[in-house]
């Protein structure tokens, strides 16, 4: 929302200075103005796409840092132990002797939630700062795009003005040339006076 507002505030004064349609465009063509050119550039600018990808990556890193801070640590263990024993009875021993084989099984699940995890708090803080920095870089990229688009747009308008002026001069000279030839052909100009 902030970026759109900045874009509108920067572009709005410029739009009042521009013609509503390009002088080179035929009358049936859709009018081209600075805002339309800028909107198209927003969709296609590779620099802006790069900064957007950087911002998205930093936001994802921030979300992961926050998840690590809030989520508990889970450890699961399982074991199987084979037991082999031989019982030898001596003397007055009571019971049965012999050998036996059996397996014992063990499972454990440990869930740990620290009350305070300083390193994770630092990681969340750093991720937040990285997102703010990426946000500022993105805003700067938008402003840079506005400047680049405006410079190129006005350069094109200037070139069109120069082209139109050159065409007008050529037409004026051609008309003067035709007028002089007609006067000369009609005998209105004495070619001996000009030599």
Per residue, what are the HEC states of the chain?
CHHHHHHHHHHHHHHCCCCCCCCCCCCCCCCCCHHHHHHHHHHHCHHHHHHHHHHHHHHHHHHHHHHHHHCCEEEEEEEEEEEEEEECCCCCCCCCCEEEEEEEEEEEEEEECCCCCHHHHHHHHHHHHHHHHHHHHHHHHHHHHHHHHHHHHHHHHHHHHHHHHHHHHHHHHHHHHHHHHHHHHHCCCCCCCCC
Model confidence band, residue 188 (pLDDT cutoffs 50, 70, 90): low
Share the mean pLDDT of the chain.
82
Question: The pTM is what?
Answer: 0.53
Structure tokens at 120: 């994770």
The architecture that CATH gives domain 2-17+44-185 is Up-down Bundle (1.20)
Task: Calculate mean pLDDT across residues 109-121.
Answer: 86
pLDDT at 140 exceeding the cut of 90: yes
Query: What was the pLDDT predicted at 78?
Result: 92
Residue with tokens 């600075």: 34
Domain boundaries along the sequence of the chain: 2-17+44-185
Higher pLDDT, 116 or 136: 136
Q: Could you tell me what percent of the chain has a pLDDT over 70?
A: 79
pLDDT digits (tens, 9 = 90+) for 19-44: 444 444 444 466 688 999 999 999 99
pLDDT digits (tens, 9 = 90+) for 149-168: 999 999 999 999 999 999 99
Residue 34 exposure: Cα atoms within 13 Å on the Cβ side: 25
Structure tokens at 122: 């630092």
């Amino acid at each position: 929302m902030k970026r759109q507002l900045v874009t509108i505030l920067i572009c709005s004064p410029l739009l009042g200075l521009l013609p509503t349609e390009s002088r080179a465009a035929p009358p049936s063509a859709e009018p081209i103005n600075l805002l339309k050119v800028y909107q198209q550039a927003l969709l296609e600018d590779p620099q802006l796409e790069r900064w957007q990808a950087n911002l998205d990556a930093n936001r994802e890193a921030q979300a992961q840092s926050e998840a690590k801070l809030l989520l508990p640590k889970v450890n699961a263990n399982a074991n199987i132990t084979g037991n082999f024993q031989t019982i030898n009875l001596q003397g007055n021993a009571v019971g049965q002797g012999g050998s036996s084989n059996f397996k014992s099984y063990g499972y454990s699940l440990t869930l740990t939630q620290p009350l305070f995890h300083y390193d994770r708090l630092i990681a969340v803080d750093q991720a937040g700062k990285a997102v703010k920095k990426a946000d500022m870089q993105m805003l700067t990229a938008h402003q840079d795009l506005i400047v680049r688009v405006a410079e190129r747009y006005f350069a094109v308008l200037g070139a069109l003005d120069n082209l139109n002026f050159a065409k007008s001069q050529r037409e004026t000279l051609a008309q003067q040339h035709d007028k002089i030839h007609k006067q000369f052909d009609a005998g209105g100009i004495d070619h001996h006076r000009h030599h």
